[in-house]
C-alpha cells in the first residue's frame, strides 16, 4: 500500500512539473498575413490593417491606445522579413509610433482565460535612427512588473528579449516616433497555473501516506 501511494505521488508531481514547463515550441509572427497600410503617421488605420485578436488561436492579442495596433507596409524601408511591421495607434484610431503597444497572452484553448509564456522577443524595423531606443516591460497575470529591457535602434538591428516564468503581457515603448516592430517570437502559451495546485496535491497525497503508515503500525 505504502509503495503504491509513493508511486502515485511521484507520477502526479511529475505530471504537474511537465505541465508547468511545457513551453518548448517557439512561435514567430511576422505580420505578413495581414494587409499593411501606407506608412503615413496620422492616417486612420483601415479595418483590414487593424491587428487585435487575429492570432488568439496562438494565444496572443495586440492593443495600443485603441483596441488594436496598425499593420504597416514599411516598403521601401527595410524590415526583418517581408514588408510589414506594427505600430502604435492613437485613441482616435490614427497610426502613430508614439503610443505604447501592449501584447497580451491568453490560453489558446480558452480565449477568455489569461495565459502565460516564459519567453518573448521582438525585433525593430531595419531603418535605424541615431539616439533612438525601445523598451520592453513584462508583466504577470496580476499586473506586477517582472522586469524591463531596453535596446538601441542601431545598424545591427534592434532586438528586445525577455525570459521569465509567468509572462502574461509586455508593453513596448520608445523615446522617438520612428520605430516599428517586426517578428514577434514567444514560447508556447499555457493557461495561468492554479495557485498552490502542486502544493495542494502534494500535501493531500502526503496525508494519505500518513494514514497508510498509521494503519500499518
Judge whether residue 53 has pLDDT over 80: yes
Residue 210: the pLDDT is: 53
CATH number of residue 58's parent domain: 2.60.120
Residues 92 and 139 in one domain: yes
Of 116, 109, 125, nearest to 189 by C-alpha is: 116
Of the given ranges (50-54, 64-68, 79-83, 153-157), which has the lowest mean pLDDT?
Answer: 153-157
Judge whether residue 207 has pLDDT over 60: no
Higher pLDDT pick, 8 / 40:
40
Judge whether residue 6 has pLDDT over 60: no
Q: Residue 20 — pLDDT band, cuts 50, 70, 90?
A: very low
Judge whether residue 142 has pLDDT over 50: yes
Residues 210 and 118 in one domain: no
Residues 91 and 165 in one domain: yes
Residue 83: the pLDDT is: 97
Residues 128 and 166 in one domain: yes
Q: What integer best gives the mean pLDDT of the chain?
A: 86
**Residue 200 lies in domain:** 1-22+194-217
Residues 106 and 166 in one domain: yes
Q: pLDDT over 70 for what percent of the chain? A: 78
- The cell for 161 is 528579449
Residues 116 and 213 in one domain: no
CA gyration radius, the chain: 22
Residues 30 and 2 in one domain: no
Residues 109 and 212 in one domain: no
pLDDT in tens, 83-139: 999 999 999 999 999 999 999 999 999 999 999 999 999 999 999 999 999 999 999
Residue 16: the pLDDT is: 43
Average pLDDT of the residues in 47-70: 98
Residues 14 and 29 in one domain: no
Q: How many domains does the chain have?
A: 2
Judge whether residue 171 has pLDDT over 70: yes
Residues 85 and 151 in one domain: yes
Task: Give me the DSSP letters along 85-102.
Answer: EEE-B-TTSBB-SSS-EE
Residues 131 and 209 in one domain: no
Residues 92 and 176 in one domain: yes
Map residue 147 onto helix, strand or coil: strand
Amino acid at each position: 500500500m505504502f509503495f503504491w501511494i509513493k508511486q502515485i505521488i511521484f507520477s502526479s508531481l511529475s505530471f504537474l512539473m511537465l505541465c508547468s514547463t511545457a513551453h518548448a515550441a517557439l512561435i514567430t509572427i511576422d505580420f505578413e498575413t495581414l494587409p499593411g497600410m501606407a506608412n503615413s503617421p496620422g492616417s486612420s488605420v483601415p479595418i483590414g490593417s487593424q491587428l487585435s485578436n487575429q492570432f488568439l488561436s496562438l494565444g496572443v492579442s495586440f492593443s495600443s491606445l485603441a483596441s488594436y495596433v496598425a499593420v504597416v507596409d514599411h516598403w521601401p524601408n527595410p524590415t526583418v522579413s517581408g514588408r510589414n511591421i506594427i505600430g502604435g495607434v492613437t485613441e482616435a484610431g490614427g497610426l502613430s509610433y508614439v503610443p505604447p503597444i501592449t501584447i497580451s497572452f491568453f490560453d489558446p484553448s480558452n480565449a477568455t482565460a489569461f495565459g502565460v509564456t516564459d519567453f518573448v522577443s521582438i525585433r525593430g524595423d531595419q531603418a535605424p535612427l541615431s539616439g533612438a531606443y525601445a523598451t520592453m516591460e513584462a508583466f504577470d497575470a496580476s499586473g506586477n512588473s517582472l522586469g524591463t529591457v531596453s535596446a538601441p535602434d542601431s545598424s545591427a538591428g534592434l532586438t528586445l528579449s525577455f525570459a521569465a516564468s509567468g509572462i502574461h503581457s509586455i508593453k513596448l515603448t520608445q523615446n522617438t516616433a520612428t520605430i516599428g516592430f517586426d517578428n514577434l517570437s514567444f514560447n508556447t502559451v499555457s493557461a495561468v497555473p492554479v495557485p498552490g495546485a502542486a502544493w495542494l496535491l502534494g500535501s493531500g497525497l502526503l496525508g494519505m501516506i500518513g494514514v497508510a503508515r498509521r494503519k500499518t503500525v
